[in-house]
Structure 1
Amino acid sequence: MTGKFSELDMYYFGQGTHYEIYKQMGAHPAEEDGVQGVLFQVWAPHAAQVYVIGTFNGWNENANEMERLKPEEAGIYACFIPGVKCGELYKYLIVTSDGTKLYKADPYANYAEKRPGTASAVADIMHFKWSDDAWMKARAAVKDIYAQPMTIYEVHPGSWMRHPGREDEGFYTYRDLAHSLTAYVKEMGYTHVELMGIAEYPYDGSWGYQVTGYFAPTSRYGTPEDFMYLINYLHKNKIGVILDWVPAHFPRDAHGLADFDGEPLYEYADPRKGEHPEWGTKIFDYGKAQVKNFLIGSALLWIEHYHVDGLRVDAVASMLYLDYGKQPGQWVPNQFGENKNLEAVEFFRHINTLITGRNHGTVMIAEESTAWPMVTGPAENGGLNFSYKWNMGWMHDFLDYMKLDPYFRKGNHNKMTFAMSYNGSERYILVLSHDEVVHLKCSMLNKMPGLEDEKFKNLMVGYAFMLGHQGKKLLFMGQDFGQSREWSEERELDWYLLEDPRHKHLQDFVKALLHLYKKNPCMYENDHDWGGFEWINANDADRSIFSFVRKSKDGKNNLLFVCNFTPVAREDYRVGVPKASTYKLVLNSDDAAFGGSGEKRPASIKAEHSECDGREYSIAYPLPGYGVAVFSYK
């Protein structure tokens, strides 16, 4: 049950610190004088009058006028309506000072009518019986989040898999996904899923990045309770959940946040600050306490109520720079004449510190595409206090290199080594996301050079290099089995490709990499400094071969990677090794299980006292074209 806003509630809201605002704003089951119904509350300070209209009153515009609570300058309207049931549709009719009528969805709604409808829906989200206590306690008890494994499977729920032959879109429901997606993720060995497009949005083609319902899981796949079932089930199977979250901008749709009460409210009033000319969207006013409270409340809803383990914050750069995507004259400098949005900077420091401080073990991830300093640095030292930053620089260099004909890779060798020169500046996630396999960019498989068989081999060695490199990892769905077509939100992945042995071999190789990663702490417990990584040979450009070591903190778990990025076999490739030890072959891309030759290779090799790569000891190994060899040693 919830109650009307008190003066204390209004004070905290006005300060931007009403952290459980989602429990009061919006539509919530309530009781007045022993009568059950729903209490509606909305912020609309510029409105002259506000009404609730819906299926429960026949959309009668005069049936339920809302009361403007005192103090009136707070702009909070409330209305208790007896007998309203969960599932009823509603909107706010806002009458502006000039008499214009606006029909708005509830910004704080917990559920929405399935598109193309645009109404909000009454929902009671407070009675789901969670059974993920073991996961939640283990998460809270983590001593060092950065020392935990993280391989993220990025998923668009509506196009991961669909029911065939259905007259509707055939979407998997949240409950369908709970079982099918969990089974796949467990088998493959991913540690987390990142779900795109969960917060309600009107247009499928936006993939969920133009949000109208910041407090509502999209109704495309079921109810809020169904969504909780999905999170609960993933957690019970020891899989973490990250959501994409979009505080950077919102669409102009008439039922949404734009000019909500007849004037700019959620957006900056000055269009030079409040609009993205290129995107045609509105920019949140990060200097307004109630707007910051709205966004913080949304984040806390997902983290604290829905038990989500982290948020990947979209388009961070567009928030940090006042001139992002704008021409001269289209933006306003800050008080120091700079292009930094100081209000957005403070917003990030506030929300990141708050989220991770209140919810130990959760993460805030920045999709930040520039060289803004200290994105993951502590707030007290001038940083933004994100947990991780997507490493877009590594991604672009990696893809530029992988697209090259192997003959030309020797002249671009540094593209694969450069990221380690700045790896310690932030805490990174290496990403191959959905953005890289759309809009004529080609799928990962078809970015690769060569004939069809060579494309698969290229992708295998590329994925091995990625998984071995420092940084947490993210791979978009479909790329682990070599989706041939670009991704489209309009259809499911091409799962039939797994009938082709080459696609199945690639999938099995990625599975082997993921399980190798989880099994060996050296692959993840120190991703931030040179204590966990060492180049053996970063300069073998002529042969386009990279060799490096991943090291555990205790020195007892170490892996040596050797990756050949040309089709030329090196029958006796000699590589320097750190110690006079025995090197056990734990992954061989030429294994028949991965579509290789199946040629018998030594299961272990004892290091020889023979100098190589500036090291006293070395081993020799028959390295095939596009070959990957991973060795463990003590």
Structure 2
Amino acid sequence: MTDTILSNITDIEGEEMETVTPTDYNIHLFHEGNLFDAHRLFGAHVYRDDSETFTAFCVWAPNAKQVKVVGSFNNWRGTNYEMTRVNAEGIWRIEIPLDLTNHLYKYEITTNHHEVKLKTDPYTFYTEKRPNTAGIVYSLNDFEWTDEDWLASREACNLYQSPMSIYELHLGTWKKEEKELIGYREMADLVVPHVLEHGFTHIELLPVTEHPFDRSWGYQGTGYFAPTSRYGTPQDFKYFVNECHRHGIGVILDWVPGHFCKDAHGLYQFDGRHIYEYEKELDRENYTWGTANFNLGRGEVQSFLISNARFWMEVYHIDGFRVDAVANIIYWANQGNQGVNEGGIAFLKKLNRAVFEYEPSALMIAEDSTDWPQVTSPVHYGGLGFNYKWNMGWMNDVLTYLETEPDERKHVHSLITFSLLYAFSENFILPFSHDEVVHGKKSLLNKMPGDYWQKFAQLRLLLAFMYGHPGKKLLFMGTELAPFSEWKDLEQLDWHLLDYDMHHKFNTYSKELLKLYKDTKALFELDHRSDGFEWIDVNNVSQQIFSFIRKSESPEDFVVIICNFSPQVYYQYKVGVPKASYYVELLNTDRGSYGGSNQVNEEQLKVKNRGYHGKPCYVEMTIPPYAAVILQPFHH
């Protein structure tokens, strides 16, 4: 933590706060890249000193000739509102002897080339609703949190040995009213019961940082310290998080520290020069997305971004971050995997150290498509310092396998097995995210080959395989409805599908699968240890059946999982199993109540004490078509 200097200054609610007056020390830390509460120094802050109330504005603009603050309090004219340059490195500040709470403001920056720019404060806590872009002077103090129990349980929880099933959510398209966006408060009251009913443990929000364009989904941001005003106020967003926490649901933010939007009011060419982004065009320009890459080697940018992460945890009680596009931070954006960005790697290590120093129970999840080693190893062991990483390789391999016609799957058998060669090299999350169901990629259901019935059967099988495979889980919103259409990012989810029999049955299945997952320690307790997984039969290429064991800490607490990726039914099929008196079905994805053909094993499966599949005994059972069966042992 950076040293803080307390004074008798109080904010307008009368609470003691850290001084907003720059000191030589915190200015030094800022330029060095080590001021991790920079939002206390920069931005707009209203405070009382003795009997007088002031609003202080502070901004970093090293190449500006002049900076004025303009807004609704001075008719957007900066005469007599010139800011004072505090130091040679370009910090500007002004104190105005007024309470400007709820006033609009921007910075009027005159560049070295005498161009005048109107810029939104990079540290503003709240902005006008799009398409307007001014910052709003805003206090973040008047909200009463009631999530103490959640915060205490979070501290006590062992993340790695707990179930984690994440619901990835885009607030703008989950549900709409008359095609209008629903606000944070109403969304909380709708989403929380849905997430609880379906058994998810966390919500992951697509970026809520302020952004100009709805269809960027928040990934091209302009206001990193401002929850988007599309859905309401900062206090409304606190209500959303608080309601999640009160009901035992964690909240993860999608967060984009690699690149940002180039709109004129934002960070790009902030003072006429490239101060937040790299100066060199090849390093700066992210041609794929039309954005600018943050200059992660610059101290002031490091202070900005690391402060931002800690700000969301401190002010909004966020439980962690899914860090977007880590590949574009590890490697230079326009050099592929040829050019390692040492500054980017140093930034990621510094970020993760600072986050875990502030909150040891945080989730820091890398969305990383590379094979860079030790992404989820601590920095002091030579790693990047994340504690989770999306397993993009598993996702791509499994979807490629399932999109292959069944009679051709024998040729791509290893796509299912390959992930177990590296499954324990990192702490993985298995993701079926929004990225897999947009831009013509089709929905998960519609990726499955075959007829109507076969598509549903294979989607049930896919999710059962996912929840049986080592690693925590993430599903994009709407997966529980089994939509035929891919994500339509201007419309709400296809809620009407629940009126149709097969979709309703799939929805029932998804709830029961997640309940079983959370109730079965063998499915999550040893996710990140190789002794939690054991193949039974990995070589059945002709029948396309994979069987394996998942284990918990307790030797007698395990499950046997059999996945049949063919359309055939197999009767009296032998499966080698560990010793037990008998086995029973915990789950059969072919149950009639799920929309299946009801090829189930209702009776206890008696163990035959002869070796098979390298195991001391076996059971004989019915293997349903396109289905997974989970067996639980019983011992006398």
TM-score (norm 2): 0.94
Query: Could you tell me how far apart the structure 1 residues matched to 2:28 and 2:357 are?
Result: 23
Change (3 A) 1:593 1:287: same
Partner of 1:623: 623
Q: Paired residue for 2:311, among 301, 304, 315?
A: 301
Query: Could you tell me how far apart the structure 1 residues matched to 2:315 and 2:298 are?
Result: 25
Work out whether residues 464 and 589 of structure 2, in 8 Å CA contact, stay in contact via their aligned partners in 1.
no
Q: Paired residue for 2:152, among 137, 148, 157?
A: 137
Deviations 1:35-75 (A, max 9, x none): 32422111111111111111121111324211222xx2132
Deviations 1:341-369 (A, max 9, x none): 11111111111122123202111010111
Partner of 2:7: none
Partner of 1:178: 188
Work out whether residues 95 and 101 of structure 1, in 8 Å CA contact, stay in contact via their aligned partners in 2.
yes
| Code of the aligned partner of 1:586 | L
Query: Could you tell me how far apart the structure 2 residues matched to 1:601 and 1:584 are?
Result: 8
| Code of the aligned partner of 2:58 | Q
Work out whether residues 537 and 613 of structure 1, in 8 Å CA contact, stay in contact via their aligned partners in 2.
yes
Q: 2:63 aligned with 1:46, yes or no?
A: yes
Q: How far is the alpha carbon of 1:610 from its aligned partner?
A: 3.0
Work out whether residues 531 and 553 of structure 1, in 8 Å CA contact, stay in contact via their aligned partners in 2.
no
Query: Could you tell me how far apart the structure 2 residues matched to 1:430 and 1:62 are?
Result: 56
Query: Could you tell me how far apart the structure 2 residues matched to 1:64 and 1:33 are?
Result: 23
- Number of corresponding residues: 617
Q: 2:284 aligned with 1:269, yes or no?
A: no
**Which residues in structure 2 correspond to 1:437-586 (within 5 Å)?**
437-586=437-586
Query: Could you tell me how far apart the structure 1 residues matched to 2:100 and 2:572 are?
Result: 74
Work out whether residues 543 and 566 of structure 2, in 8 Å CA contact, stay in contact via their aligned partners in 1.
yes
105-114 vs 596-605, which moves further: 596-605
Deviations 1:182-239 (A, max 9, x none): 1011000011110002011111111111110111101111111111111111011111
Change (3 A) 1:603 1:303: farther
Query: Which secondary structure state, in structure 2, belongs to the residue aligned with residue 353 of structure 1?
Result: helix
Partner of 2:118: 103
Deviations 1:124-175 (A, max 9, x none): 1123211111111111223x32112111110001001111x3xxx5212111
Change (3 A) 1:556 1:231: farther
Query: Could you tell me how far apart the structure 1 residues matched to 2:360 and 2:88 are?
Result: 37
Partner of 2:16: none
Q: 2:296 aligned with 1:282, yes or no?
A: no
The CA RMSD measured in Å over matched residues stands at: 1.6
**Which residues in structure 2 correspond to 1:280-429 (within 5 Å)?**
280-322=290-332, 324-326=333-335, 339-429=339-429
Partner of 1:5: 22
Work out whether residues 481 and 494 of structure 2, in 8 Å CA contact, stay in contact via their aligned partners in 1.
no
Work out whether residues 200 and 213 of structure 1, in 8 Å CA contact, stay in contact via their aligned partners in 2.
yes
Q: How far is the alpha carbon of 1:84 from its aligned partner?
A: 4.0
Partner of 2:14: none
Q: How far is the alpha carbon of 1:603 from its aligned partner?
A: 4.2
Deviations 1:401-432 (A, max 9, x none): 11111111122111011000111211111111
Partner of 2:435: 435
Partner of 2:131: 116
| Code of the aligned partner of 1:570 | Y
| Code of the aligned partner of 2:76 | W
Deviations 1:310-342 (A, max 9, x none): 1000011111112x3348xxxxx9xxxx72111
TM-score (norm 1): 0.95
Query: Could you tell me how far apart the structure 2 residues matched to 1:13 and 1:443 are?
Result: 46
Query: Could you tell me how far apart the structure 1 residues matched to 2:354 and 2:112 are?
Result: 37
Partner of 2:8: none
Work out whether residues 57 and 63 of structure 1, in 8 Å CA contact, stay in contact via their aligned partners in 2.
no
Query: Could you tell me how far apart the structure 2 residues matched to 1:471 and 1:516 are?
Result: 16
Q: Which runs of 5 or more structure 1 residues have no equivalent in the other structure? A: 328-332
Change (3 A) 1:211 1:600: closer
Query: Which secondary structure state, in structure 2, belongs to the residue aligned with residue 473 of structure 1?
Result: strand
Deviations 1:454-496 (A, max 9, x none): 1101100011001100011111011122122111221100110
Identity among equivalent positions (%) equals 43
Query: Which secondary structure state, in structure 2, belongs to the residue aligned with residue 424 of structure 1?
Result: coil
Partner of 1:193: 203
Query: Which secondary structure state, in structure 2, belongs to the residue aligned with residue 157 of structure 1?
Result: coil
Q: How far is the alpha carbon of 1:98 from its aligned partner?
A: 2.5
| Code of the aligned partner of 1:524 | F
Query: Could you tell me how far apart the structure 1 residues matched to 2:342 and 2:600 are?
Result: 61
Work out whether residues 192 and 239 of structure 1, in 8 Å CA contact, stay in contact via their aligned partners in 2.
yes
Work out whether residues 278 and 325 of structure 1, in 8 Å CA contact, stay in contact via their aligned partners in 2.
no
Query: Could you tell me how far apart the structure 2 residues matched to 1:480 and 1:75 are?
Result: 52
Q: How far is the alpha carbon of 1:245 from its aligned partner?
A: 0.4
Q: How far is the alpha carbon of 1:505 from its aligned partner?
A: 1.2
**Which residues in structure 2 correspond to 1:8-27 (within 5 Å)?**
8-27=25-44
Query: Could you tell me how far apart the structure 2 residues matched to 1:63 and 1:90 are?
Result: 15
Query: Which secondary structure state, in structure 2, belongs to the residue aligned with residue 531 of structure 1?
Result: helix
Query: Could you tell me how far apart the structure 2 residues matched to 1:223 and 1:612 are?
Result: 63
Query: Could you tell me how far apart the structure 1 residues matched to 2:118 and 2:613 are?
Result: 70
Query: Which secondary structure state, in structure 1, belongs to the residue aligned with residue 92 of structure 2?
Result: strand
| Code of the aligned partner of 2:499 | E
Query: Could you tell me how far apart the structure 2 residues matched to 1:604 and 1:121 are?
Result: 66
| Code of the aligned partner of 2:197 | E
Work out whether residues 600 and 622 of structure 2, in 8 Å CA contact, stay in contact via their aligned partners in 1.
no
Q: How far is the alpha carbon of 1:102 from its aligned partner?
A: 0.5
Q: Paired residue for 1:58, among 44, 56, 75?
A: 75
Query: Which secondary structure state, in structure 2, belongs to the residue aligned with residue 583 of structure 1?
Result: strand
Change (3 A) 1:600 1:292: closer
459-468 vs 8-17, which moves further: 8-17
Query: Which secondary structure state, in structure 1, belongs to the residue aligned with residue 283 of structure 2?
Result: helix
Q: 2:140 aligned with 1:125, yes or no?
A: yes
| Code of the aligned partner of 2:314 | E
Query: Which secondary structure state, in structure 2, belongs to the residue aligned with residue 159 of structure 1?
Result: coil
Partner of 1:605: 605
Q: 2:160 aligned with 1:151, yes or no?
A: no
Query: Could you tell me how far apart the structure 2 residues matched to 1:603 and 1:630 are?
Result: 14
| Code of the aligned partner of 1:339 | G
Query: Which secondary structure state, in structure 2, belongs to the residue aligned with residue 293 of structure 1?
Result: helix
Work out whether residues 27 and 109 of structure 1, in 8 Å CA contact, stay in contact via their aligned partners in 2.
yes
Q: How far is the alpha carbon of 1:293 from its aligned partner?
A: 0.4
27-36 vs 389-398, which moves further: 27-36
Work out whether residues 275 and 282 of structure 1, in 8 Å CA contact, stay in contact via their aligned partners in 2.
yes
Query: Could you tell me how far apart the structure 2 residues matched to 1:610 and 1:543 are?
Result: 23
Work out whether residues 390 and 431 of structure 2, in 8 Å CA contact, stay in contact via their aligned partners in 1.
yes
Query: Could you tell me how far apart the structure 2 residues matched to 1:325 and 1:611 are?
Result: 56
Work out whether residues 56 and 84 of structure 1, in 8 Å CA contact, stay in contact via their aligned partners in 2.
no
| Code of the aligned partner of 2:160 | Y
569-578 vs 78-87, which moves further: 78-87
Query: Could you tell me how far apart the structure 2 residues matched to 1:42 and 1:492 are?
Result: 39
Partner of 1:330: none
Change (3 A) 1:603 1:302: farther
Q: 2:237 aligned with 1:222, yes or no?
A: no
Partner of 2:6: none
Q: How far is the alpha carbon of 1:33 from its aligned partner?
A: 5.4
Q: Which runs of 5 or more structure 2 residues have no equivalent in the other structure? A: 1-10, 12-18
